[in-house]
Each structure stands twice: as C-alpha cells, then as structure tokens.
C-alpha cells in the first residue's frame, strides 16, 4: 500500500521572543560584567602582587553589586520564560498535494499545491520542542511562504519532535521531486 507523506505542525508567532532578545542579552551581559566586577583579580602594584576586585578598585561596595545582580536575575528568569512561550496560532498540515491551515477556531483553509506559486520553505533550525511543552528558542525562523491567487501568504511553524522532523523531511524530499520552482533552504 502506498502512503502519501504528510506532516502536521503548529503555526506559531515568535515575535515576542525576537523583540525581547536584545533586552535578554543585555541583561545577560550586565550579569556577566557585574559578576566579573566582584571577583578578586590579581594586580601588580609597586612590584607587589595584590588581589582586589574591579568594584573595589572603582570604589563601589560589593553589597550594592550583589543586590543589582539579584534584581537582574529576578527579572531575567521570568523574562526568558515569558518570551520563549510562543503563542500557537493554529496548525499546518503539509501534504504533497495540498496545504491545509487550521486556525484556533477550527476553521480550515486549503491551498491545493497545483494552484500555489513560489512555494518556499525556510528552515531556521533543527532543534525541537523540549519535553516541558515550550518551544525551544532556536525553533523560530521556520517559515513557509507562497503566492495563492495573487495573495502572498506566510506562516511561521515549529517542529516539536524527531517524529515530526522525519515526516517534515519526507514531505520536503517528495515536494522537491514533484514541484517545479519549489525552494527549500535550511541552515
């Protein structure tokens, strides 16, 4: 019996994760620098090896830096989990003959691939959803885009596990041999 390859994926929106990335990384850098500033560093002063922290050398009390570090950690942890918890906007069923989108209200839209132009799938990562139910940050930048009846359509999707990854790769492999002009990019 011949089976048609298909894969069902979640449509996600990682805008929040991308938008908050500079804030998160700035906090991480500040934490690193502040932690480094309270560590004792060897100095040679008047040909004598001494050990002072950078905070001591610039006249800042360690306890102030410790409080700032604790506050930054208290902000960084919830910010990380808030930003990486992507909203799921529906599902995407990709087959070799059609693409079906289901929104959260269970309304479906079907796009026959024979009527789709400029089908492009961009794979930004091979990292998958973790067992805790949250998408790994690296899953963003998986996109499917195409033109259907002069309308440009684009969806971001996540691959949750190895099984979905294998099914996704099987569909892409089949589409490459079937569709003229199909573009697939992957890191």
Q: Tell me: the pLDDT tens digits for 129-176?
A: 555 555 555 556 789 999 999 999 999 998 877 788 888 989 999 999
CA distance 22 to 35: 20
Q: At what angle do helices 15-38 and 62-84 cross, to 10 degrees?
A: 160
Answer yes or no: are the C-beta atoms of 175 and 30 closer than 8 Å.
Answer: no
| Residue-range domains of the chain with CATH | 6-14+86-186 (2.30.29), 16-84 (no CATH)
Element (H, E) at 173: helix 162-178
- For 71-118, the DSSP string reads HHHHHHHHHHHHHHSPPEEEEEEEESSEEEEE-TT--EEEEEGGGEEE
**pLDDT tier at 91, thresholds 50, 70, 90:** very high
**Prediction pTM value:** 0.73
Confidence (pLDDT) at 2: 46
What is the Cβ-side half-sphere exposure of residue 93, based on CA atoms within 13 angstroms? 13
Q: What is the chain's mean pLDDT, rounded?
A: 83
Choice between 90 and 4, residue whose per-residue pLDDT is larger: 90
Average pLDDT over residues 93-106: 92
Strand, coil or helix: 174: helix
- Report the pLDDT value the prediction gives residue 67, as an integer from 0 to 100: 93
- Residue of 90, 142, 91 whose CA lies nearest to 121: 142
Percent of the chain with pLDDT over 90: 43
Q: What is the pLDDT of residue 1?
A: 40
Report which of residues 58 and 72 the model is more confident about: 72
* Spatial contact of 176 and 168, defined as CB atoms under 8 Å apart: no
């Amino acid at each position: 019996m011949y089976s048609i390859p298909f894969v069902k994926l979640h449509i996600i929106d990682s805008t929040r994760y991308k938008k908050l990335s500079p804030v998160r990384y700035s906090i991480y850098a500040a934490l690193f620098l502040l932690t480094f500033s309270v560590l004792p560093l060897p100095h040679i002063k008047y040909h004598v090896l001494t050990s002072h922290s950078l905070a001591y050398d610039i006249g800042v009390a360690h306890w102030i830096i410790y409080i700032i570090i604790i506050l930054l950690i208290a902000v960084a942890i919830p910010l990380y989990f808030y930003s990486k918890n992507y909203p799921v906007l529906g599902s995407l069923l990709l087959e070799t003959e059609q693409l079906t989108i289901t929104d959260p209200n269970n309304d479906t839209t079907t796009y026959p691939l024979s009527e789709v132009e400029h089908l492009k799938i961009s794979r930004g990562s091979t990292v998958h959803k973790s067992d805790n139910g949250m998408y790994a940050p690296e899953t963003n930048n998986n996109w499917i885009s195409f033109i259907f009846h002069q309308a440009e359509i684009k969806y971001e999707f996540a691959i949750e596990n190895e099984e979905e990854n294998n099914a996704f790769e099987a569909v892409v492999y089949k589409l490459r041999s079937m569709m003229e002009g199909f573009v697939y990019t992957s890191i």
